[in-house]
Structure 1
């Protein structure tokens, strides 16, 4: 258990080191080991036999280089969480598969990958903390040795744009892997913070003298009013600075070209204006041209502007297209055309 804590602490230290060239890969590898040690410790406490037995002689154990062969992390995860759609299990299985892809092969994409799956990485660590303290007691919590890092990140408009640009340069093969994994995850799991955590940081103008600099509020501890306010901030990690808003017609809507370009930048296949046209036709989120009732749209995805006689598309539509067009089968279903990899 102590070895597991040490591995997790090392993983976070490397992740937060700005001069570490492969910090995210190091984080994934050391968190993999941390979880393996932690689950081995839990099974040992509960007297669960984790040594592999020989198939032809179950009374004898398998040995490799003189050492007993014990369960690998994937096997431990299956035994610990028997529900295949448990959010913690899904998160761990994502990083097990990701480790196999990035180790020694994608070091040039380290920073881009850290930005693209940062929410899942945060969930991986918090799940570890929950498993550690629930199994062995609060006295072993990592909270006393790990701190919220001092950083720029998305606290400034320039920092946020830099991070978005960095994420968009993720190699197509890794984009495809992430999209394919997420597409196979039920919506209930995708929305669970134990699978992927997104934080909304609200900058306060003042605070009580005895308050912590960073305060974390759990969803289950929030009132209905607080939950409603939090939902308005959206699922995407965002820093919010309070300011007065005026009514703006078309606020948050995108023209077809802008929406199509966002999808094209995020999916591993060629996605052009024709694909965009086909997608809304197949999904039927708006009427066809010259329809006598242009206002009959699916307002979650598309809104008709009577003043300009045009349609505006929402971020939800862009997100839906990105999710469904990131796999070959999804692309065909969404656009009615075979996908072509980007050059």
Structure 2
């Protein structure tokens, strides 16, 4: 690796120091993750990669002649004689600005609260389940490094493939059974994943997924034993073949859990109830609309007191059998029991009418 004194000249000293810290932290993160004897695998990796990403953003801001320090009363804050640097969450918001749905940003925003959760806990039970996000976090790091500082600072030439056995196929629910103390972390992971769009979830920049198939030895000695092929670079025929093989691998080898299968967005609840009621219509102000709509749903959660009003100081005080507060996205998700309850109650005309009295 290129250390401070051997890095090419031209970058300011502050930028070089941040880059060295960032690269060292990233390499330590990978080394920690790939050591088979270490049980604090994901925890150590996440903590070190958060440091690495933070230092990378600081290097970018310093090069842009921006000072990544917090201000108070229009003056840079100091603590113990040193400036208070922006944390990763602030760096992310400053770098991506209005691009709130960027998959790289969503990946980092997944790890920021998770880092605080795992810092003082050993949670090997969730390692296999969050591997895809961990891998994407590393690939994204090199992608941003390449974009901002060029190929000579990337890690790809310093790393090789880790030797692997068949990975564990344990689900997050298995993690809770094995270690009940992981439940808050598992709940966070499920809530975060359910709160992002399908496009983000399927993006390789948010979560890198791959399947390895053992093949016959290559015809030439110089062929790489493992090669990455970007899915979005394949033509339609190749994608169809890949999807067919992936489906076979899933069905034959892996029990794939459906995360948050009991948690629904409000719009999904509305659609389920409206459909179950027979898709009835009402006439309002001369316009036809669904009888059970988003306004009806809002009236329901207020009447049955399943969650607090918006702006409440304690948004987590819900009826958990019906509703869960998703803290990272500041929104509410609902259970299948809630939709079933509404279907039963809204079938009663008097109960429906009471919402509008």
Alignment partner of 2:118 out of 72, 88, 102: 102
- After superposition, the Cα gap between the structure-2 partners of 1:226 and 1:167, relative to the gap in structure 1 and judged at 3 Å, is farther
How many Å separate the matches in 1 of 2:159 and 2:251?
22
How many Å separate the matches in 2 of 1:133 and 1:21?
32
1:331 counterpart = 2:335: yes
**Unaligned ranges ≥5, structure 1:** 155-159, 242-251, 253-257, 270-280, 286-324, 339-343
- After superposition, the Cα gap between the structure-2 partners of 1:332 and 1:181, relative to the gap in structure 1 and judged at 3 Å, is same
How many Å separate the matches in 1 of 2:69 and 2:249?
42
- After superposition, the Cα gap between the structure-2 partners of 1:102 and 1:237, relative to the gap in structure 1 and judged at 3 Å, is farther
- After superposition, the Cα gap between the structure-2 partners of 1:236 and 1:46, relative to the gap in structure 1 and judged at 3 Å, is farther
- Superposition pairs of residues 114-193 of structure 1, within 5 angstroms: 114-154=127-167, 160=168, 163-164=169-170, 168-170=174-176, 171-193=182-204
- After superposition, the Cα gap between the structure-2 partners of 1:75 and 1:233, relative to the gap in structure 1 and judged at 3 Å, is farther
Partner of 1:246: none
Alignment partner of 1:35 out of 34, 50, 53: 53
How many Å separate the matches in 2 of 1:130 and 1:235?
29
1:215 counterpart = 2:224: no
How many Å separate the matches in 1 of 2:246 and 2:274?
24
Check the 8 A contact 1:198/1:236 in 2, yes or no. no
Partner of 1:245: none
**TM-score (norm. length: structure 2):** 0.64
How many Å separate the matches in 2 of 1:218 and 1:327?
37
- After superposition, the Cα gap between the structure-2 partners of 1:334 and 1:186, relative to the gap in structure 1 and judged at 3 Å, is farther
Check the 8 A contact 2:89/2:109 in 1, yes or no. yes
**TM-score (norm. length: structure 1):** 0.67
Check the 8 A contact 1:74/1:93 in 2, yes or no. yes
Check the 8 A contact 1:92/1:124 in 2, yes or no. yes
Check the 8 A contact 2:194/2:260 in 1, yes or no. no
Aligned residues: 260
1:86 counterpart = 2:102: yes
- After superposition, the Cα gap between the structure-2 partners of 1:198 and 1:234, relative to the gap in structure 1 and judged at 3 Å, is same
How many Å separate the matches in 1 of 2:228 and 2:129?
22
- After superposition, the Cα gap between the structure-2 partners of 1:21 and 1:268, relative to the gap in structure 1 and judged at 3 Å, is farther
Quote how far apart the aligned CAs of 1:11 are. Answer: 0.3
- After superposition, the Cα gap between the structure-2 partners of 1:195 and 1:209, relative to the gap in structure 1 and judged at 3 Å, is same
Partner of 1:62: 77
**What's the secondary structure of 2:212's corresponding residue?**
strand
**Unaligned ranges ≥5, structure 2:** 1-18, 177-181, 263-271, 277-321, 326-332, 343-357
CA deviation profile, 1:278-331 (whole Å, cap 9, x unmatched): xxx96979xxxxxxxxxxxxxxxxxxxxxxxxxxxxxxxxxxxxxxx9957431
Quote how far apart the aligned CAs of 1:218 are. Answer: 1.3
How many Å separate the matches in 1 of 2:261 and 2:87?
32
Check the 8 A contact 1:120/1:196 in 2, yes or no. yes
Quote how far apart the aligned CAs of 1:211 are. Answer: 1.3
- Give the superposed CA RMSD: 3.6
